[in-house]
Amino acid sequence: MRLHCILSVLALVSSRAVFVGAAVPPIRQDQSTQHPLSAPIQHRPLVIWHGLGDTALSEGIAGFIEDIKAQYPGIFVYSVQIPKGGSLDAERKAGFFGKMEEQVQDGCEQLGGIPELAGGFDAMGFSQGGLYLRSYAQFCNDPPVRNLITFGTPHYGISALLPCPTPPTLQCRLAARAAQSGIYTQWAQNHLVQAQYFRDVERLAEYGEVNTFLTRLNNETLPTPKSERSDAQSSALVSQTKGKGTGRLEGLENFVAMMFDADKTVSPAQSAHFWTYTPGNKTLLLPLASQPLYTQDWIGLRDLDERGRLHLGHCVGEHMDLDSGGCAQGVVDKWVGGRV
Ligand SMILES: *[C@@H]1O[C@H](CO)[C@@H](O)[C@H](O)[C@H]1NC(C)=O
Ligand SMILES: *[C@@H]1O[C@H](CO)[C@@H](O)[C@H](O)[C@H]1NC(C)=O
């Protein structure tokens, strides 16, 4: 076990040197300098949602934001903090424990209250953070997401828990132990974050019965109808994600989903591109184009693709190695900092 939740943050820290390094000119010539009388370029704001084990303004994220501000002077960047105003410990804990719909709702309220974001923004989610941001885009989306960018996000779930760092943190150990006592229990689905996107293709009936977060996010048609779900539970869910979202991705300008080719943390790594294991077979992968989610267009992914707005990219490294191959830099150059 090499790179894990906490170390994924360190990958961000160590990426800084290259991120603003000599190979890529870090600060673009502001074109307004050529026209002294024109107003400076206004860059579209950026919202970041961090990954498991990280915090909104950790050293790694803060450094990442600094680099983006150096490249796009004046850009407004906001990093979502769950819970808002919480201690660092509470923030890290919220990555492991909590109800994802409620955490998304917390994010909706934060983003809805920030004047600088009112005209819309680009959104960048790291790993698990990408699930929250996609949920925001599909269900809240007020203000709207323009470019949605995800790095190593398990969009079609995980078939194994993410490994704890070495040495394991207490929260990671506690969450793993709790998961062992049953991932498809109401308790786990309401309290353990990873359980809410744990999709075991050998237990799809159980998953379909108790899971609310990922099934709703992917508008998944399940082997077992959700008839057993109480009306109270369903309406509670709907009320948790109030907003202008349609449930679909159609409002996005672009959806940029990056997969780490050497990812040994997320299983399967291809979940970052909406691949899953075949029902009943944990070795056989189903590519995106063979997924009913795509062919029947459950969430508007195929529609985005047909309009040339779905971009499935690759990073060469291990999970959250944003540095190798200039992965983050390439994405930031192309999809961040557009003009307002
Ligand atoms: C979810 O998928 C069903 C078909 O499987 C479709 O009728 C429905 O409109 C979809 N919901 C959304 C929000 O797209
Ligand atoms: C899963 O698929 C592989 C490749 O087609 C096959 O060899 C294997 O027997 C399958 N396993 C099960 C449990 O069906």
Separation of 182 CA from ligand 2 center, angstroms?
A: 26
Domain-embedded: residue 53: yes
pLDDT of residue 18: 32
- The 10 Å Cβ neighbour count of residue 309 is 17
Domain-embedded: residue 25: no
Q: What is the side-by-side strand order in the sheet with 77-79?
A: 77-79, 46-49, 121-126, 145-151, 254-260, 310-315
CA-nearest residue for atom 11, ligand 2, is 281
Domain-embedded: residue 165: yes
Separation of 277 CA from ligand 2 center, angstroms?
A: 11
Residue 263 · residue 152 · CB < 8 Å? yes
**Which atom from ligand 2 is nearest to the alpha carbon of 282?**
1
Is the sign of the CA dihedral 247, 250, 252, 254 positive or negative?
positive
* pLDDT digits (tens), the chain, 340 positions: 222 333 343 333 333 333 332 233 344 444 444 455 667 889 999 999 999 999 999 999 999 999 999 999 999 999 999 999 999 999 999 999 999 999 999 999 999 999 999 999 999 999 999 999 999 999 999 999 999 999 999 999 999 999 998 899 999 999 999 998 899 999 999 999 999 999 999 999 999 999 999 999 999 977 555 555 554 455 445 445 667 888 999 899 999 999 999 999 999 999 999 999 999 999 999 999 999 999 999 999 999 999 999 999 999 999 999 999 999 999 999 999 999 8
Domain ranges, residue 322: 5-15+42-335
Q: Identify any residues that bridge with 48 across adjacent strands, giving them in sequence order.
A: 79, 124
CA-nearest residue for atom 5, ligand 2, is 284
Q: Which of 138, 139, 298, 303 to mutate to test the pocket of ligand 1 (most atoms within 8 A of CB)?
A: 298
Say which DSSP state 158 is in: B
User: What's the length of the chain?
Assistant: 340
Q: Which of 276, 277, 284, 290 to mutate to test the pocket of ligand 2 (most atoms within 8 A of CB)?
A: 284
Half-sphere exposure of 233 (CA within 13 A, CB side): 14
Ligand that lies nearest to the alpha carbon of residue 297, given by its number in the listed order: 1
- The 10 Å Cβ neighbour count of residue 201 is 17
Domain-embedded: residue 27: no
> Cα 111 from chain centroid?
16
**Which atom from ligand 2 is nearest to the alpha carbon of 284?**
2
Closest C-alpha among 191, 219, 205 to residue 279: 205
* Peptide linkage before 40 cis (omega within 30 of 0): no
Pairing state between β 145-151 and 254-260: parallel
Ligand that lies nearest to the alpha carbon of residue 201, given by its number in the listed order: 2
Domain-embedded: residue 306: yes
Separation of 201 CA from ligand 2 center, angstroms?
A: 13
Q: Which string of DSSP letters, residue by residue, matches 272-297? A: GGT-EEETTEEEEEEPGGG-HHHHTT
Q: What is the CATH number of the domain that holds 127?
A: 3.40.50.1820
Domain-embedded: residue 31: no
CA-nearest residue for atom 6, ligand 1, is 298
- 326/273 Cα distance (integer angstroms): 20
pLDDT of residue 241: 62
Separation of 114 CA from ligand 1 center, angstroms?
A: 31
Residue 47 · residue 150 · CB < 8 Å? no
Ligand that lies nearest to the alpha carbon of residue 278, given by its number in the listed order: 2
Domain-embedded: residue 265: yes
Tokens 């907003």 found at: 243
Residue ranges around ligand 2 (CB below 6 Å): 281, 283-284
Domain-embedded: residue 21: no
How many separate domains does the chain show? Answer: 1
Residue ranges around ligand 1 (CB below 6 Å): 219, 221, 247-248, 296, 298
Q: What angle do CA 40, 13, 130 make, to 5 degrees?
A: 75
Ligand that lies nearest to the alpha carbon of residue 215, given by its number in the listed order: 1
Tokens 């991120």 found at: 19
Q: Which of 283, 285, 286, 290 to mutate to test the pocket of ligand 2 (most atoms within 8 A of CB)?
A: 283
Task: Map 16-69 to HEC letters.
Answer: HHHHCCCCCCCCCCCHHHHCCCCCCCCECCEEEECCCCCCCCCHHHHHHHHHHH
Q: Which string of DSSP letters, residue by residue, matches 187-238? A: HHHHHBTGGGGB--TTSHHHHHHH--HHHHHTT---SS-GGGS-HHHHHHHH
Separation of 219 CA from ligand 1 center, angstroms?
A: 6
The tokens describing 292, both together, are 């009913």
pTM for this prediction: 0.87
